[in-house]
Amino acid sequence: MSRDRAAFGFGLAAMLLGGVGLWSSFGDVDWGFVRAAAPVALIVIGAGMVLLSRHHH
């Protein structure tokens, strides 16, 4: 079944950003980890959207 790729990708990115926001509210954010993980996460999400596009066709 095909997915709404925009909703899927932006939803994952929003969950990650919201998670960082909650982390900063209830603890000390390891910004070094965030700085390294954020681009990797974005690329993984983009790759997932590409794979969904391929599967869609």
Partner 1 sequence: MVRQPRPPLNGDMPDNLPVLTRPADTKMLAGVCAGVARRLGVEPTVVRVAAVLAAVFLGGLGVVAYLAGIALMPKDGQQTMPVRRWLPFTRSWPTPAVIAAVFAVCAVLLYAGGFSGVGIGPAVIIFAIWFFGFRKRQPRHSAHHPSEPTPFERASAAWRVRLAEQQTPGFENPGMFSATTAALPPMPPAQPAAFEQRWEQPYTDPQRDLAVTDNPAPEVRSHPHRPRGRWSGWLTALALAAVGTAAVRLLGRVDALPYVAAVLTAFGLALVISSRRHRPPLLLPATLIAAIATISLMLPVPAGTVGDLDAAYASGTDLPSRIAYSAGDVRLDLSGLTLTKDQTVTVDVGVGQVDLTLPKNVRSQLVWSVGAGEYSDPGTPSVSGAGISGSLGTDAPADAPTLTINLKVGIGEVKVTE
Q: Enumerate binding residues for partner 1 (CB under 8 A).
A: 1-22, 24-26, 29-32, 35, 38-40, 42-43, 45-47, 49-50, 53-54, 56-57
Q: How far apart are CB 45 and partner 1 at their closest, in Å?
A: 8
> b/e map of 18-56 (b: 16 or more CB within 10 Å)?
eeeeeeeeeeeeeeeeeeeeeeeeeeebeeebeeeeeee
Q: How far apart are CB 55 and partner 1 at their closest, in Å?
A: 10
Q: How far apart are CB 18 and partner 1 at their closest, in Å?
A: 3
